[in-house]
Structure 1
Amino acid sequence: MPAKATHDSGIGIGGAGPRPGKLPRLDSLTGLRFPAALLVFLFHASLGVPWIRLFESDAANDGFAKYVSQAGALGVTFFFVLSGFVLTWSAREKDTFRAFWRRRFVKIYPNYVITWALALLTFAAVMTKPWQAVVNLLMVQVWVPDFATNFSVDPPSWSLGAEAIFYLSFPLLYLLIKKIDPAKLKFWIAGTIAAVVLTPTLTYAVIPGGGMQMPGADGTSTVQYWFAYVLPPVRLLDFALGILVARAVMAGRWRNIGMTWSALLLAVSYAVAMNVEHLYGQRAVTLVPIVLLIAAVASRDAESRPTPFNNRFMIWLGEISFAFYLLHYIVLAYSRDLLGDRLFSTPVGIALIAAQAVVAVLLSWALYAWVEAPLTRRFSTSRKAKAARAAAAATAATPASATADPAKLAEKV
């Protein structure tokens, strides 16, 4: 989930946009990441489990849970599609597989390990088996068809297990999708959307529905949920769709309906998602509006037009949103423990949830500023690559007649 994207590949954008050969930063999509992460926060804050619940009123708790019942799934699906879109937008023409994987690892894993340890220290150790903690640390918890394992330690971290597969797959997927004739991208996009929409149908038809059931999910078993919502190869469709749509936008093959209509369609689809079978509501119903919104926001950035999301404050929130995503459940669970067993009135409960969000934002800022940003700057590029870049810059700045040693020039840069 990169915060920014620039591009110098020579692939222009159709219609009014930046000069050929250079794609702009996607600041609005950076800013939009925080509302998506906040949706996941609200979903987790609504859980009625003892280590999260705050409202003493069953009506308040049930109403809150009802209205944000699909918010977490919407936020995660948004991030999966966004990852494919932004990685494609920011792809480097002369990049190597190893260099790409290094940047992703440095960006993701330090935050992941720190929040893994914090979750175990604050609340998760008593409900996590040692082997579950290990598979979670290795980011392979999503391959086990067991609900408790999928959401062990820090529950939101399951999606990083899927993202790890996306990142491993991206260099090859990108090369393959680049070979698609731009005129045929619409067929690939339609086919990928169809595959996602049909996934719940296939799941309900093929995967057994007995055993442990998802709460409030109309008979959906946890194994069905794992197959249709958690399993990385299935969710790879969301990521691939983001790559395809980015290619279509960059090639001028995308029909943009605009941010307003995309947002309205997303709101309508969310209302529908709350009233269909569980697995359809989790991704199939909201997928197309999510894609439309991402493409519309990127198109606004390409035209250098303002949006509600590309101001300095929203960009800052977007930059810390990855840390917020990993930290928020820890804040919810640990603060609930500090408050004791007492439940609260609805106004007080709302105030406490708002306070939890603020605390999560502040801690995320610290994690971003002290860990994520400095480690990314320091280690995302190898020493060899840095030396080569410095030597190239020094050579370019030196007159052709100069005979200085490139190694010495690199040391000075």
Structure 2
Amino acid sequence: MPCKVTPMRLDSLTALRFFAAFSVFLHHCVPLGITFSDYMFNLNLGWTVSFFFVLSGFVLSLSRDNRLHTRRDRSNFIIERFFRIWPLHLTCALIYFLTIPITGQFERYYLFFTLQHAWVPAYSTAFFMNAVSWSISVELFFYIMFPFIFFTRVRNMVLFAMLWAAGVFSFMAVVSWHPQWFSFSPEVPNLLESGVTEHSFFYFFPPVRLCEFIGGMLTYQVFKRVRLSDASATIAQAAALLLVLAYMVSSQTVIAFFYGIYPRVATDNFDNYGMYPLFCVFIWAFAYQDGLLARKVSHKYLVWLGEISFSFYMIHQIVITNLHQNLQVGAYGFPLLWVVVAFAVSVGASWLLHGGVEKPALNFVKRRLYGARPVPPTALAP
């Protein structure tokens, strides 16, 4: 029996969102006194931000396939996606402002509250206030670009993806070979005092990260056209999982290998998002809901955690910062205990934010935009 190809609710991918958000949570637990990457082969646990970018391209393509025909469709899409992320962003900013001392210039506040802070790719702007929100600033750029990339003809999309990736890689090569041509700021010990450095530019700047989003869009096109039996889907999922685990174990070896092949800037950033084709394969495999591993991961509690994962992602660093700065829990020792406390508080807050902010805001904007018209299904990722 062939697997279903275009279900609008992909519980396995929803559940996987939680694992990606949890990896970022572990990455940010250093202020609590423990560096989890030291116990996980020095893996950069923030790598799953790239997973979110790929997943976003995939699920938006799934939910909007054959739905962006008119100018009104495209404008409604951008407005809807903005209000998918902005109300929660604003709420978390208010929580941050009320609990953590913050100062900054008007420009930083303006960029932050309009979700443009990663578009000026300096640490001082991208990491302003709730630092994790830099990624949804990048997502907003993706949303604006999506209606114009999502061409009817797949060959045009493939050509665009190839040219864009070639352009990004070529620019990395030029910066690697002729850094004197560019006036990037030097990095200082306090990154928040740095200007636009070479690293911050290639990490935050949305046009650079667009390759991951387009990769997710193309992954959907493959998924749409390739049917797998239940057994084949299970094999594909097992193989994809093994590839991810193999990379986790050997990431530092892989990066060291590429230093002798790729331009320096490309290799410097491989640790953050160079593995995104691996995430494309992983998402493609687990999108087939009837595969054994997809069914296993679609447990109702994991799906629930996936549903609140955007709120979890947005609030967890605020929780960790409060424990570290305001309660100074590091003075008491027992770092694992405080990690558990941070996780529990973050999950509880996520549940409240998801039900009290995320869902009502999205339902409101959909009613305003579509009224009695058919409402496009909500995509799985912010």
Q: Match of 2:302?
A: 314
2:328 to 335, 340, 361: 340
Q: Structure 1, unaligned stretches of length 5 or more?
A: 1-14, 47-52, 391-413
Matched, 1:27 2:11: yes
Amino acid at match of 2:21: A
Q: TM-score, normalised by structure 2?
A: 0.80
Distance 2:160 2:147 in 1: 18
Pick closer, same or farther for the CA change 1:205–1:70 going to 2, 3 Å.
farther
Pick closer, same or farther for the CA change 1:212–1:179 going to 2, 3 Å.
same
Q: Match of 2:285?
A: 296
TM-superposition CA deviations, 1:205-247 (whole Å, max 9, x none): 35559743387x9xxx962112222101111111111111101
Q: Match of 1:167?
A: 143
Q: Match of 1:71?
A: 45
Matched, 1:278 2:268: yes
Pick closer, same or farther for the CA change 1:326–1:67 going to 2, 3 Å.
farther
TM-superposition CA deviations, 1:369-390 (whole Å, max 9, x none): 111112222322336x323559
Amino acid at match of 1:120: F
Q: Match of 1:85?
A: 58
How far is the alpha carbon of 1:44 from its aligned partner? 1.3
Distance 2:358 2:335 in 1: 32
Distance 2:188 2:289 in 1: 40
Q: TM-score, normalised by structure 1?
A: 0.75
1:115 to 75, 82, 92: 92
Alignment of 1:1-400 (within 5 A): 16-18=2-4, 23-46=7-30, 53-55=31-33, 61=35, 64=38, 67=41, 70-72=44-46, 74-95=47-68, 96-126=73-103, 128-174=104-150, 176=151, 178-181=152-155, 200-207=172-179, 211-213=185-187, 223-252=197-226, 258-275=236-253, 276=255, 277-284=267-274, 286-298=275-287, 300-301=288-289, 306-340=294-328, 342-345=330-333, 348-382=334-368, 385-388=370-373
SS in 1 for 2:367: coil
SS in 2 for 1:212: coil
How far is the alpha carbon of 1:249 from its aligned partner? 1.3
Distance 1:123 1:377 in 2: 31
How far is the alpha carbon of 1:64 from its aligned partner? 3.9
Larger Rg: 1
Q: Higher RCO, 1 or 2 (CA under 8 Å, sep at least 6)?
A: 2
SS in 1 for 2:64: coil
Pick closer, same or farther for the CA change 1:203–1:250 going to 2, 3 Å.
farther
Distance 1:67 1:321 in 2: 25
TM-superposition CA deviations, 1:1-33 (whole Å, max 9, x none): xxxxxxxxxxxxxx92338xx534211001100
Q: Match of 2:263?
A: none
Amino acid at match of 2:177: A
How much identity, in percent, do the aligned residues show? 26
Bigger Cα displacement from structure 2, 142-151 vs 206-215: 206-215
Amino acid at match of 2:226: G
TM-superposition CA deviations, 1:351-401 (whole Å, max 9, x none): 111210111011011000111112222322336x323559xxxxxxxxxxx
Amino acid at match of 2:93: W
TM-superposition CA deviations, 1:279-310 (whole Å, max 9, x none): 221111x2222111100000x21669743321
Contact persistence 2:3–2:227 (CA under 8 A): no
How many residue pairs align between the two structures? Answer: 351
Distance 1:259 1:63 in 2: 25
TM-superposition CA deviations, 1:183-218 (whole Å, max 9, x none): x95x87777766676665454335559743387x9x
Distance 2:329 2:44 in 1: 27
Amino acid at match of 1:104: R
Contact persistence 1:200–1:279 (CA under 8 A): no
How far is the alpha carbon of 1:323 from its aligned partner? 0.7
Q: Structure 2, unaligned stretches of length 5 or more?
A: 256-266, 376-382
Q: Match of 1:396?
A: none
SS in 2 for 1:258: helix
How far is the alpha carbon of 1:122 from its aligned partner? 1.7
Pick closer, same or farther for the CA change 1:199–1:44 going to 2, 3 Å.
farther
